Amino acid sequence: MTEQSEPQVCFLQGYPAQNIEKPAHAQHRPLAESDGLLTLVIPLPMRPAAQDPRVIGIEYPPHDDSLKKAGLPHPAGLSGGAVWLFPTFRENLVWSPDKARLVAIERGWWREEKEVIATRIEVWLRLVATQIPKLRSTIEAKFGPLA
């Protein structure tokens, strides 16, 4: 994902804790409901919080208050969920799932800034290549050289 000066459209996917239905009996499994939100990646220069290039900030809830009455779930539990980048309508007149790109993994929420924080996928790929060296060539063949 290259840094942009304008916000980019992304889709957050995860399992908010408040959407987990706990079973009445220990032998039953909990019901986990996935949730998603189409929102915006906040460009690094526009982020009032930390300016760490390894992470991206995502509006949650959207900063324009467009979903204020929607009752969005508290973001606790989203960690580990995916952040997918969508091409703009100008770039792609017809939406197709193969045009979406996994760009980050959610890892936290800054309440004051109304930002979900996510680690860029390139950071995860470098970690995997370092921890499991036999996968490095496969990862680099698919995603290019790891810095």
Domain coordinates in residue numbering, the chain: 8-121
CATH topology of domain 8-121: Thrombin, subunit H (2.40.10)
Does this model's pTM top 0.95? no
Give per-residue pLDDT as tens, 2-59: 556 667 777 777 777 666 677 777 777 766 666 677 777 877 777 765 678 888 888 8
DSSP state of 97: G
Give per-residue pLDDT as tens, 78-108: 888 889 887 777 777 777 778 888 899 999 8
The beta-carbon contacts of 18-27 under 8 Å, at least 24 apart in sequence, are 18/73, 18/74, 18/76, 18/77, 19/73, 19/77, 20/77
